[in-house]
Amino acid sequence: MDEQKKIPRHVAIIMDGNGRWAERRKLPRKMGHAEGCKVLEQTVRDAADLGIDYLTVYAFSTENWKRSEEEVSALMVLMGFYIKKLLKVAEEENVRVKIIGERSRFAPDLVKGLNKLEYETRNNTRMVFAIAINYGARDEMRRGMIRMAEDVKAGKLEPTAITEQTIGSYLDTADMPDPDLLIRTSGELRLSNFLLWQLAYTEIYVTDDLWPDFNKEELQKAVDSFGKRERRYGGRLTK
């Protein structure tokens, strides 16, 4: 088997530890988020260089609204600032950006920026970079099931015709393959309501590094670990 075949097609990342990184350095938590944004910029470039076709990151969850008003406000400002930087990175790296989650809760200017990020990069072909913003997997499934129920009610879909593929087609990631590899930073061993449907058969790699300390070497370690694993789908052994 050649090296290219060992590269996961789709990598998902739970970027955890920004706040702890800042606290350990006696810095405001917002400084950890700012540093984390810089690492994300570089990770997009590194993932594209490694030949990954899809990269999905957990940027802001539905639960993050419960954080302090000061921290949430700082995150919104950072998001608006880094949308412009990510557009530059995406154009330089020929990356298409896709936003998943429910964006309507954000301020109009931020929504406009997210929409522009998607639109301006729609024809890029090297890699798809999906950003989960105001995203929660249970909320994603709830929204998808509402649309499915509406289609059943309208006679567009027969209940007996619903398959796993049908359900997947109503999710935010409908046009993407399921992740092959999930990376979680900070050593936490939980999914945190991220891509619960899509991660059913995904390999998991956990690093103790906090997200601002994540780098290309750690990404390569995760990819190498994936390449060495024997994967089973319903009893069928694959590599």
In tens, the pLDDT along 11-26 reads 999 999 999 999 999 9
pLDDT at 213 over 70: yes
Per-residue pLDDT of 57-66, as tens digits, reads 999 999 999 9
Averaged over 173-200, what is the pLDDT?
97
- CA–centroid distance for 46 within its chain: 15
pLDDT at 134 over 50: yes
| Residues in contact with 223: Cβ distance below 8 Å, sequence separation at least 6, in sequence order | 6, 7, 8, 11, 50, 52, 181
Q: Where does the pLDDT of residue 5 fall: very low under 50, low under 70, confident under 90, or very high at 90 and above?
A: low
pLDDT at 236 over 90: no
Q: Where does the pLDDT of residue 182 fall: very low under 50, low under 70, confident under 90, or very high at 90 and above?
A: very high
As given in the structure block, the two tokens for residue 90 are 């995406």
pLDDT at 3 over 60: no
Known catalytic residues? Answer: 16, 64
Among 25-34, 77-86, 138-147, 226-235, name the one with the lowest average pLDDT: 226-235
pLDDT at 219 over 70: yes
pLDDT at 85 over 70: yes
Q: What is the pLDDT of residue 6?
A: 85
Q: What is the pLDDT of residue 230?
A: 79
Mean pLDDT over each residue of the chain, to the nearest integer: 94
Q: Where does the pLDDT of residue 98 fall: very low under 50, low under 70, confident under 90, or very high at 90 and above?
A: very high
